[in-house]
Each structure stands twice: as C-alpha cells, then as structure tokens.
Chain A
Amino acid sequence: MVHWSAEEKQLIASLWGKVNVEECGAEALARLLIVYPWTQRFFSSFGNLSSPTAIIGNPKVRAHGKKVLTSFGEAVKNLDNIKATYSKLSELHCEKLHVDPENFRLLGDILIIVLASHFARDFTPACQFAWQKLVGVVAHALARKYH
C-alpha cells in the first residue's frame, strides 16, 4: 500500500479542490494527442485529429478528457485504496482497450504540465512531488491487472 504523508494528502486535496475537471481534463487529453501523436492510435473513432486546432476543438476529445480526469478524482478521494479503486478499469484497459500502460505515464506527465500552467507558483516543488507521485501510483494501479 502506498504511504501518503499528511502533507502530501493535504497538497493533493487542496489543489484538486480548485481544479476545473472539465477544462483540465480536456486540455490534458488534447495535449497528450498533440505532444505524443502516436497516442492517437486509440482514438480512430474520434473524428478529426488532423491538427492541434482540430484536436483542441474536437468535442469527443473534450468529453473523453473530462471523463478521464473525473475518474482521476476517484484516486484523490481514495488515496489509501487506489489499487482497488482502479481494479476494474485496469482490466478494461488491458482486455478491451488494449492500451500500453506507458500511455498512463505519458498522460500523467502531461497532467502535471497542465496543473503547473494553471496554478503557477501555487504549484510548489512539494506540490509537484505529491502530484507526480499520485500520477505514478494511478498509472501503476491501472497497469496492475494486465496479463
């Protein structure tokens, strides 16, 4: 089980309280598809992903980004039980979606950049540490049921 210090829990919860899940989720997914274009391979049904402008404006990208980050909120609410929280999603990503877990790490890194750009100096080094740890734990939990 992951150990979270009281400070880490506080840093995570207080930042999350200020996150606009719809906006940040949409931005994170769009940036993933733009910065690491090979990740578009999972989204052939999303329509026009032909340019950064198309990706950013794509309503399916926005909706899916919101969905993904909303799910992230479950981790924030269940820091002491992230493995169980993502057990079914892990199976889904392996068996149905066939997503290489490396993509979870890529998205986590992108999310950190999005948070940094929104929160600026409030995204202190201690905050970055806690959040980088969290995205790593989430990525690990999502990969855990792979077989």
Chain B
Amino acid sequence: MVLSGNDKTNVKGVFSKIGGHAEEYGAEALERMFATYPQTKTYFPHFDVAPGSAQVKAHGKKVAAALVEAANHIDDIATALSKLSDLHAQKLRVDPVNFKLLGQCFLVVVAIHNPSVLTPEVHASLDKFLCAVGNVLTAKYR
C-alpha cells in the first residue's frame, strides 16, 4: 500500500482543516474506541477511562500530535515515528489489530465534525494514511 501524491495532498488538507481541534479529536477518538471496543481498555488499567477523563484527554493530545507529525512528514512516516515505533515494539506491545480500531474511531470523529471534508476520495486517503501509521508503529514487533 502506497500513498499517492493525491493521498498526501488529501491528508495534509484534512489536518489543515482540523487545525487546532486535532487534540480534541484525538481525545474523542480514544473515548469512542473505549466505548465501542471495550477490549481496548485492557491496555489502560492505570487510567481512568470514563468519558471526560483528564488522562484520556491528555493521551488523546499525544495521539493527535503523533498523527499531525506523521502528516507533516508524510513522505517518510517511518523516520518521523521511529521512536514511537520502538516504544510500541519494546514496551507497549499493543496488538496490531487495535490500530485499525483506533483508526476507525478517528475516521468517525472526522466524519462527525467535518462531514463535508470527508468526501469518498479523502476518506480513502485518510484510511490509507491511518493504515500506514499503524504499519509503522507495528513494523518492529518481530
């Protein structure tokens, strides 16, 4: 799976429209992931995962920042997220299936807040981008 020139343009466009809301979107995506896929909470026994939780908000900010970073370095996501990739492989070891679940929830959040931005073509590009990010984060797992 390769991000075309159009995909990269579309993804950068989405994040530019999201702008400063990225942090909220990150938090909402996590909240929805915990609500929709309760098994994902098993990675956060040390968190208060109730809706509105300050820890979830803070973590959502981190997740969003990583996505923004990846979008800003979309020609080389692997280098941009290399440290995060190491972290997930060595320490966090989140099962790869879960990146798809968070990706789905992020798409839902974008769809809710920016339906006109998420045209079918942009939807395709963003889905590919989120897959690419997931692939990078799990690339060093074995």
The residues of A with any CB-CB pair to B shorter than 8 Å are 30-31, 34-35, 52, 55-56, 109, 112-114, 116-121, 123, 125-126, 128-129, 132
Contact = CB atoms under 8 A, between A and B. Distances in A.
17 contacts: A34-B120, A34-B124, A35-B123, A35-B127, A52-B124, A56-B120, A112-B104, A112-B108, A113-B104, A113-B107, A113-B118, A116-B108, A116-B112, A125-B31, A125-B35, A128-B35, A132-B36
Interface string B102-124: 00110110011101001111011
A131 to B, nearest CB: 9
B32 A113 contact: no
Q: Which DSSP category, helix, strand, loop or mixed, fits chain A's interface?
A: helix
Contacts of B35: 125-126, 128-129
Contact-residue size bin, chain B (C-beta under 8 Å from the other chain): 20 to 34
B51 interface: yes
Contacts of B37: 132
Contacts of A34: 120-121, 123-124
A113 B111 contact: yes
